[in-house]
Amino acid sequence: MPVEHAAIIGAGISGLTAALSLSRRGISSEIFEQAGELTDIGAGLQVSPNAARILAQLGILEDLSKVWLEPETIRLISGSSLRQLAAVPAGKFARQRWGAPYGVLHRTTLQKALLAAVEADPLCRLHLGVRLESALPAFERAADVVIGADGVWSKLRQSVPDSPSPRFSGNIAYRFTIAETEAPGFLDRTSVCAFLGGSAHLVSYPLKETGSFNMVAITAGNMAPQAWQSEPPQEQRAQLRARLSGWNAAIVSLLEQQRKLTFWPLFETTSGAWQDGRKTILIGDAAHAMMPFAAQGAAMAIEDGYELAAFLSNHPVSEALARFERHRAPRIAKLRQRGAFNRFAYHAKGPIRIGRDLVLGLKPPQSLAADLDWIYGYRALSLP
């Protein structure tokens, strides 16, 4: 039986992308979101070509490209000397090599663009302020499939036997922004930069639409509460300072001056089933929340929503869900491995750090780009 109507739990990036992707195939959906309104949340994010290609198919990319920044390069920089270790060209190079742009923007900008498209689509209906507890919300019409896009703390996950569980990753993110007019000179106005140091790394890139820099420092940390806090406890600030031992004084000073740090314990999910064999499926962080070391969290949510719609439009529901999981799981597993490798490389110390710097220095930009082809050059199922 072909799918005619879907219920989607969660109005984040994966849920809204799924709704639009289903609509493009003539499938209607209801999206249920527990928040009473979709407010400004999160910070910056990177949209790599594999995701940008899908946004173009959904009619979202043109407006985004007017306000986002396409970085000229993605740079790896020593956190102690501020010397460039390696750089991957982006900008026009990304469009030429991977057939789609690489952009950076505020998460809210992407969320609002997806939301506007959903609200303008007659096949999509959004319900706000609907909290999922022990039972599914009341659908306006019977749903052929129920899609859990409700994040790492998914409630719908309870409906899927042997599903993943959230766990603290052992990593903490400290997020803040700096007005471009107040940013120090070592912050690159045209590129994504990752400053690498033993036990920590700092990612920086401009947010064109807000006139600021997005800054995220990630380091190992102790077990922390589920919810992020607007102000890190003193013990967490002390821990961050300790992790920055040996870093360039300008970076250390920049972090210590920030009073509006967002302290964010990073959670991921264990392995487990994404679907129940009948009509319920998990996507995005609900299925496979991962660490940001490959900068692919948002991209995987977008890929999930788009490819799930392709399977649902071509197969009976139970078969579509099984095929989707078999198709997506290897790519997610490979990205987790890449993220784990990046964490090891970014936070390297001693002789390993010296070896890392030598290897990176010997790799030409084209070689570094080729190593990303399987991520950025990926064409989602059904894309021409």
pLDDT in tens, 347-366: 888 888 889 888 888 888 88
String of b and e for 188-224 (b: at least 16 CB within 10 Å)? beebbbbbbbbbbbbbbbbbbebebbbbbbbbebeeb
For helices 91-98 and 49-57, angle between their N-to-C axes, nearest 10 degrees = 70
Residue 373 falls inside a structural domain: no
In a domain, 126, yes or no: yes
Q: Mind giving me the DSSP string for 259-319?
A: S-PEEEEEEEE-S--SB-SSSEEE-THHHH---GGGS-HHHHHHHHHHHHHHHHTTS-HHH
| Least confident window among 37-46, 74-83, 220-229, 239-248 | 220-229
Over residues 285-300, the mean pLDDT reads 96
CB-CB contact of 143 with 30 (8 Å): yes
User: Quick one: angle between helices 13-23 and 107-119, nearest 10?
Assistant: 30
Instruction: Measure the CA–CA gap between 94 and 369, rounded to whole angstroms.
Output: 9
CA–CA separation, 130 and 127 (whole Å): 7
Tokens (6 digits) for 288: 């496979």
Tell me the pLDDT of the chain averaged across its residues: 92
Q: Please count the structural domains in the chain.
A: 1
Contact criterion met (CB below 8 Å) for 123 and 29? yes
Structure confidence by residue, pLDDT tens digits, 82-130: 999 999 999 999 999 999 999 999 999 999 999 999 999 999 999 998 8
Cα(343)–Cα(328) distance, rounded to whole angstroms?
23
Residue type for 2, please?
Answer: P
- Catalytic one of 205, 306, 346, 376: 205
| pLDDT tops 60 at residue 226 | no
Residue 229 pLDDT > 60: no
Task: Give the domain range for residue 32.
Answer: 5-68+103-166+268-348
Residue 79 lies in a domain: no
Q: Residue 106, Cα to own-chain centre: how many angstroms?
A: 12
Residue 43 within a domain: yes
- Residue 24 dihedral angles phi and psi, to the nearest 5°: -60, -20
Domain-located, residue 110: yes
| pLDDT score recorded for residue 50 | 98
**The residue type at 239:** Q
Distance CA 350, CA 246 (A): 12
Q: What is the pLDDT of residues 230-287, one digit of tens each?
A: 677 777 778 888 888 889 999 999 998 887 888 888 999 999 999 999 999 999 999 9
Average pLDDT estimate for 315-328: 97
Task: Say what the pLDDT of residue 237 is.
Answer: 79
Q: What is the DSSP string of 98-119?
A: HSS--EEEEHHHHHHHHHHHHH
261 in Cβ contact with 232 (< 8 Å): yes
- Does 141 fall in a domain? yes
Give the count of alpha carbons within 13 A of 116, CB side only: 11
> Is residue 198 scored above 90 in pLDDT?
no
> So what's the pLDDT on residue 36?
73
Is 205 assigned a catalytic role?
yes
- Whole-model pTM? 0.94
Residue 149 lies in a domain: yes
Nearest-angstrom CA–CA distance, 370 and 380: 19
CATH number where 310 lies: 3.50.50.60
223: confidence class by pLDDT, cuts 50, 70, 90: low
The DSSP element (H or E) to which 172 belongs, if any, is strand 166-179
At 283 the pLDDT is 98
CA–CA dist 170, 176 (Å, integer): 20
- Residue 176 CB coordination number (10 Å): 19
Question: How does DSSP classify residue 139?
Answer: P
Q: What is the dihedral angle through the alpha carbons of 311, 309, 333, 133, rounded to the nearest 10 degrees?
A: -120
Asked whether residue 42 is domain-assigned, the answer is yes
